[in-house]
Amino acid sequence: MQNTRAILRRVQRGILLGATFAMTTSDPTHDSEPTRRDFIHIFGTAATAVGAGAVVWPLVHQMNPDASVLALSTKEVDLSSVEVGQAIKVFWQGKPVFIRRRTAVEIEEAEATPMSALKDDNARNANLAGKVDASDNARTSSADGEAKPEWLVLVGVCTHLGCIPLGTSAGENKGDYGGWFCPCHGSHYDTAGRIRKGPAPENLPVPPYEFVSDTVVRIG
């Protein structure tokens, strides 16, 4: 909205300056003292600027995203019913997002994994700037920079060919490392969503997210 108003002000200012320049340069003998004709010119120019603004406003305003687009950019998820050891799948911007409430054992295994054991040592966390090592702490950091080891939030799309890995629903194959398994070509992810085995080249990405309360997470 601030950008829209700034554009409108620039349009009006341009019209005023252009008209003023034309008025003062059209007659080289024009006196420096304002005349009645000058006031008529200024009034007419101001009216033109206001009219132009009225025309430009709806054109510029329609470029702003509407409420439905803004709503799709974020998604709030209530996690109060998710028990320790469970995971859910939600959709954000048309993509599946895995949210797992990890057990103490899963957290311990993820934290104990050395960087040398990873195929991809990049955290790939949209909440962190630049390249950061794929430690468990970096993989569970939200937009406010705080890590909640109990909760893991991932975009559930295999980084090999875009399949949706198994491991979120009860009874599904979680692969050799207890995280997720993509049966399409055999990619195995660990309990931090990091690729450990198979053709997938990168870790499952962490989307932008933040906890708005102890039990509600906002994705996007």
CATH of the domain at 120: 2.102.10.10
86 lies in the same domain as 144:
yes
Q: What is the pLDDT of residue 181?
A: 98
**What residue numbers bound the domain in which 46 lies?**
2-64
55 lies in the same domain as 127 = no
Rounded Cα distance, 33 and 108, in Å: 83
Between 126 and 19, the more confident residue is 126
HSE, CB side, 13 Å, CA atoms: give it for residue 123. 23
Both 111 and 207 in one domain: the answer is yes
Interval 60-118: pLDDT, tens: 445 555 555 555 699 999 999 999 999 999 999 999 999 999 999 999 999 999 999 99
- Do 97 and 187 lie in one domain? The reply is yes
Residues forming the active site: 185
Q: Are residues 121 and 167 in the same domain?
A: yes
> What contacts 133, CB < 8 A, 6 or more positions away?
115, 121, 122, 123
45 alpha carbon, distance to own chain's centre: 43
Number of domains the chain contains: 2
56 pLDDT band, cuts 50/70/90, is: very low
**Final residue before a domain boundary, out of 20, 36, 64:** 64
Domain closes at, from 26, 49, 64? 64
**Which residues on adjacent β-strands are paired with residue 204?**
none
Regarding whether 108 and 52 lie in a shared domain, the answer is no
